Amino acid sequence: MKKQKVDVIIVGTGAAGLFCALQFPEEINILIITKETVEDSDSFLAQGGICVLKDEDDYEAYFEDTMKAGHYENNKESVELMIRRSQEIIGDLISYGVDFEQENGQLLYTREGAHSTSRILYHEDLTGKEITGKLFQRVKERKNIEIREYTTMIDLICKNNTCYGIIAKESNDHVEAILADYVIFACGGVGGLFEHSTNFPHLTGDALAISLKNHIALKDIHYIQIHPTTLYSKKEGRRFLISESVRGEGAKLYDKHMNRFVNELLPRDVLTEEIRKQMKKDETEFVWLSMVDLGEQVITKRFPNIFKKCMEEGYDPRKECIPVTPAQHYFMGGVKVDIDSKTTMEHLYAIGETSCNGVHGANRLASNSLLESLVFAKIAAGKIKEEWETLYLDEEVDLTQYEDLNELEEEYKKMVLKEMERMRKHG
Same structural domain, 161 and 114: yes
Task: Determine the pLDDT at residue 312.
Answer: 95
Active site residues: 268
pLDDT higher than 80, residue 33 = yes
Measured between its terminal Cα atoms, the distance across the chain in Å is 42
Q: What pLDDT, in 10s, does the model give residues 150-177? A: 999 999 999 999 999 999 999 898 999 9
Q: What pLDDT, in 10s, does the model give residues 340-367? A: 999 999 999 999 999 999 999 999 999 9
Give percent above pLDDT 90 in the chain. Answer: 91
- Any idea how long the chain is? 427
Name the 3-class secondary structure at 385.
Answer: helix
Cβ 272 vs Cβ 69: under 8 Å = no
pLDDT higher than 70, residue 59 = yes
- When pLDDT is cut at 50, 70 and 90, the band that residue 187 belongs to is very high
Specify the CATH number for the domain of residue 324. Answer: 3.90.700.10
Same structural domain, 322 and 347: no
Same structural domain, 385 and 295: no
- Domains held by the chain: number: 2
Name the 3-class secondary structure at 58.
Answer: helix
- Summarize the confidence of residues 32-52 as an average pLDDT: 93
Task: Determine the pLDDT at residue 2.
Answer: 54
Same structural domain, 198 and 240: no
Same structural domain, 61 and 152: yes
Residue that terminates a domain, selected from 277, 293, 328: 328
Residue that terminates a domain, selected from 296, 311, 328: 328
Helix (H) or strand (E) holding 279: helix 268-282
The residue range of the domain holding 244 is: 227-328
Same structural domain, 89 and 177: yes
Torsion over CA: 53, 55, 61, 63 (sign): positive
166, with CB counted inside 10 A (0-12, 13-18, 19+), is buried
For the entire predicted model, the pTM comes to 0.93
Same structural domain, 261 and 324: yes
Specify the CATH number for the domain of residue 379. Answer: 3.50.50.60
R_g over Cα of the chain: 21
pLDDT higher than 80, residue 32 = yes
Residue that terminates a domain, selected from 308, 328, 348: 328
Same structural domain, 255 and 201: no
Same structural domain, 266 and 414: no
Same structural domain, 50 and 139: yes
Same structural domain, 317 and 336: no
- What burial letters (b/e) apply to 289-309, b meaning 16+ CB within 10 Å? bbbeebeeebbeebbebbbeb
Q: How far is CA 331 from CA 70, 221, 227, in A?
A: 12, 8, 11
Same structural domain, 131 and 193: yes
